[in-house]
Structure 1
């Protein structure tokens, strides 16, 4: 169980209802099962009390069964961290983008431990992985620019994490193409505004796509990005028109939005091919 966030607010009405629905998954595990819980999320941590199954926790503090420290981002080369379990500690370097990807490493390590692997075996397997992933996929764009394809889905948390990856890159200009985030219910304006403000601190240009993206654009301007560098468009085709005017050889273009926005059309329109 990775987190309890606002993504399903539109259908479930409150964060507490989302937590309750997710806890039912943990409660349904048999006593022969294993629940892997994110110790850094207070609502997930509480699910320990409803589990009949064995619990393995992961997180960024020593309270968790498997935890990480000294997390460093190395740009396009991936991340490194020190992985801990009981009295063991091992340095890991993996080709995943962004410091937030430490959570992915921790989840994988916890799953390996649940299956009886030793920490050394887990680290060896992690370091042997390729950089193939569903999120933050690198592609080549126009003029040799870099496209960061994160179109798999979007929440405020994952979008801010993707923006932080963009910030770590030694490129200019940084362009954030950000689409609607769906199913946020009553939190949708606040979530879009939070993303817009972070984008203003990271990107040189923001292209906001969709009906809700106006909140991203407004917030980006309010947080200091010049309005001449903020564009609001209705659809992916219009976004490509804007990008054709601002992309250069040194650009990095982050493309991010909810699955329903089909923003992979933008990546395809940019000619995104394997990096």
Structure 2
């Protein structure tokens, strides 16, 4: 069995990690992870043939030569290696989690900080028990600040990720009605996200808090946090901001007690105001000048289908179909109802991982959509379809059925909100809009 220290020596010589034989690069280290339906130990030989310097396995029968490094558990070995690497890094690491806005906030914080510093930020949404170790192991010695996104769908997960990322600073964007099934309800969500606060309290780390959010204030008090940096819309915060405009792009006025300024962004959705303010606060904490902060924000282009405004041949589409939960759906409906448009149309897909709350939450969102300032509402998925006898709305069980409808009933000259959980694959409908 190879120890973590011995494995780290090999990692320093071969600092590229792979967990997928389809993405093997010459000289990488392949970690043969296991899942419910696969055992990558079986692909160890293939990884070597493709050029991997070493393969990390946990089944002795696949140990074909000296390039095979045997451990008790590949996943634990990957996590321990990341912990070991993190301890060698004497840099600020910002741990970021929340029910909504995690990835957008992470991208905004990185956009701001990278105006002055050499930064690393979680790629895509590699924010789980595998993604966080891979992120940490991607941090090179020239990085000055890292921003690590941490996702969770059950309690104790953020606690685990904190032991790997070992954040020196942290932020919870918000807590909302997300992953209710895994967390066991909203109180479970709060408890699970607060594990970041608990870690920062134990390590005497810094915490950025939206002072307008009563839940976050309550959680910070319960955790006994002392190193707090506040942002919000009221006086007394380190960063005070106000939403100047959000139709369709957000413009923010802000001050840091010394300078008052404003910034125009390429983000849509008034709900992103607090994410922008968080990035301003973090940039200010790290001694960035207001013009550097504003440059980072104004140059950021949203992607990954999160609050992304897309012009098609016939319409303007708010592409927000990377994921959805009741909190983010509520915010998206509130946003589109306030935007200027000849016609406003919402195409809403089912929200997943809500457990016993699923029926109630889908009904609540449907009722909100009915009273929103919308010209047409299309609902997709089995949960929304349960309300097909409603007086308003058009209901389909699948995106394919919806596509047929859209081909026969072309939408033009409209502002369209396209939002649903990732598993609904609503991106397939964009071509018909």
* TM-score category, normalised to shorter length: 0.7 to 0.9
Shift of 1:15: 1.9
Aligned length: 259
1:66 alignment counterpart: 239
How many Å separate the matches in 1 of 2:294 and 2:178?
32
Cα displacement string for residues 178-216 of structure 1 (whole angstroms, at most 9, x for unaligned residues): 011112234333432332233222221111111111366
Higher Cα Rg, which structure: 2
2:106 alignment counterpart: none
1:160 alignment counterpart: 330
Cα displacement string for residues 13-37 of structure 1 (whole angstroms, at most 9, x for unaligned residues): 1322221121111221364632222
Aligned residue runs from structure 1 range 193-212, under 5 A:
193-200=363-370, 201-212=372-383
Q: Does 1:191 align with 2:361?
A: yes
Q: Does 1:45 align with 2:208?
A: no
Shift of 1:88: 3.2
1:224 alignment counterpart: none
Secondary structure of 2:242 counterpart: strand
Higher normalized contact order (CA 8 Å, seq sep 6+, divided by chain length) = 1
Report the RMSD for the aligned CA atoms in angstroms: 2.5
How many Å separate the matches in 2 of 1:193 and 1:266?
23
Greater CA drift, 252-261 or 118-127 = 118-127
Q: Does 1:265 align with 2:418?
A: no
Q: Does 1:98 align with 2:269?
A: yes
Greater CA drift, 19-28 or 183-192 = 183-192
Unaligned runs of 5+ in 1: 222-226
Shift of 1:98: 2.1
2:412 alignment counterpart: 249
Shift of 1:131: 4.6
- Alpha-carbon spacing, 1:52–1:253, altered in 2? closer, same or farther (3 Å): closer
1:124 to 256, 276, 295: 295
Shift of 1:86: 2.8
Greater CA drift, 186-195 or 234-243 = 186-195
TM-score, normalised on structure 2? Answer: 0.54
1:144 alignment counterpart: 314
1:34 alignment counterpart: 206
Unaligned runs of 5+ in 2: 1-171
How many Å separate the matches in 1 of 2:389 and 2:241?
37
